[in-house]
């Protein structure tokens, strides 16, 4: 039984077979790191811990070829996934220099771009529309939460309204809108997190990546955690929140990710279950089965995708 609408099923339906996303480091930065808006990034941010390719200095095509070589025995089609930092945070000419070469490969069937809502110029939107006319294009926005007081507290340096604006611009272009959210952010109650789910169900959002809050060494949040200011979720509590969150999404929205994963050498402080993805996912799936989870069963939204 399918308890939720997993993204892998969408990919098979669209492309006729399983498709693998290959993470790539395009060498981008972030306006919240380079001083345009701030320094140091979000209080929890450590891209090196969250993305396995964040340290790569290889050419993008070399990264892509290496990723495909590792997976070619299982997959024949791939999506080039520009993952760490903000992958629209550059002049369009630079974006073209990075994106266009990977699209020349016949086995690359699309692009996925992780970014922030404040990293779009008017020219960027025009280029996104051009890309979407030629290939499958997925844009992943770091929404994290709809609550501006939380966004300010974690030093995101953007508002929820900026996310809504970008989503509304991209949606008519035929671009897959994906948002990232974090459960367990400091100061947020269960009601706050469920309000985020309810709002996402009302937005032109195709997919959601859901993460647990993780505390990583050398971040502002690590200092706050050691002071006792930042609690993290136990796995059973996360499974319960996650289940409730998914029930509030629209049935047609795809869940790309149920939890974030952290390597053992990433400097993870808490929660330690983040390092054992297989065990954690099994427990989460068992919880879904026990509670007979059904995505959309508590959805209040009347929004329908075109």
Which residues make Cβ contacts (< 8 Å) with residue 75, sequence separation at least 6?
A: 18, 19, 20
The span from the first CA to the last CA of the chain, in angstroms, equals: 27
Give the pLDDT confidence score for residue 24 in this predicted structure. 96
CATH topology of domain 7-291: pyruvate-formate lyase- activating enzyme (3.80.30)
Predicted structure pTM score: 0.95
Of 93, 141, 84, 148, which Cα lies nearest the Cα of 118?
A: 141
pLDDT tens-digit series, residues 80-112: 999 999 999 999 999 999 999 999 999 999 999
Give the pLDDT confidence score for residue 262 in this predicted structure. 86
pLDDT tens-digit series, residues 172-200: 999 999 999 999 999 999 999 999 999 99
Give the pLDDT confidence score for residue 123 in this predicted structure. 98
Positions of the chain with pLDDT lower than 70, given as ranges:
47-57
Which residues make Cβ contacts (< 8 Å) with residue 254, sequence separation at least 6?
A: 5, 6, 7, 9, 10, 206, 207, 208
Q: Which residues on neighbouring strands pair with residue 141, listed in sequence order?
A: 115, 179
Give the pLDDT confidence score for residue 279 in this predicted structure. 96
Give the pLDDT confidence score for residue 56 in this predicted structure. 58
Give the pLDDT confidence score for residue 237 in this predicted structure. 98
Give the pLDDT confidence score for residue 49 in this predicted structure. 54
């Amino acid at each position: 039984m399918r308890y939720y609408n997993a993204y892998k099923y969408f990919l098979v339906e669209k492309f006729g077979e399983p498709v693998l996303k290959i993470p790539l480091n395009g060498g981008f930065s972030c306006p919240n790191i380079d001083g345009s808006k701030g320094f140091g990034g979000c209080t929890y941010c450590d891209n090196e811990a969250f993305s396995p390719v964040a340290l790569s200095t290889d050419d993008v095509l070399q990264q892509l070829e290496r990723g495909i070589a590792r997976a070619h025995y299982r997959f024949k089609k791939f999506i080039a996934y520009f993952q760490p930092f903000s992958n629209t945070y550059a002049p369009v000419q630079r974006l073209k220099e990075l994106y266009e070469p990977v699209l020349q490969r016949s086995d690359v069937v699309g692009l996925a771009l992780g970014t922030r809502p404040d990293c779009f110029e008017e020219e960027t939107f025009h280029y996104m529309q051009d890309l979407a006319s030629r290939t499958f294009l997925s844009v992943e926005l770091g929404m994290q939460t709809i609550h501006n007081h939380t966004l300010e507290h974690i030093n995101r340096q953007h508002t929820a309204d900026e996310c809504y604006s970008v989503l509304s611009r991209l949606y008519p272009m035929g671009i897959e809108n994906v948002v990232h959210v974090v459960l367990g952010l400091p100061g947020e109650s269960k009601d706050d997190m469920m309000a985020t789910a309810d709002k996402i169900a009302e937005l032109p959002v195709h997919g959601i990546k859901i993460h647990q809050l993780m505390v990583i060494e050398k971040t502002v949040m690590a200092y706050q955690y050691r002071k006792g200011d930042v609690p993290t979720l136990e796995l059973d509590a996360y499974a319960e929140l996650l289940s409730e969150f998914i029930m509030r999404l629209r049935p047609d929205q795809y869940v790309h990710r149920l939890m974030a994963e952290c390597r053992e050498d990433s400097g993870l402080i808490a929660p330690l279950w983040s390092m054992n993805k297989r065990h954690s996912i099994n427990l989460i799936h068992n919880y879904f089965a026990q509670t007979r989870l059904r995505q959309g069963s508590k959805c209040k939204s009347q929004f329908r995708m075109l």
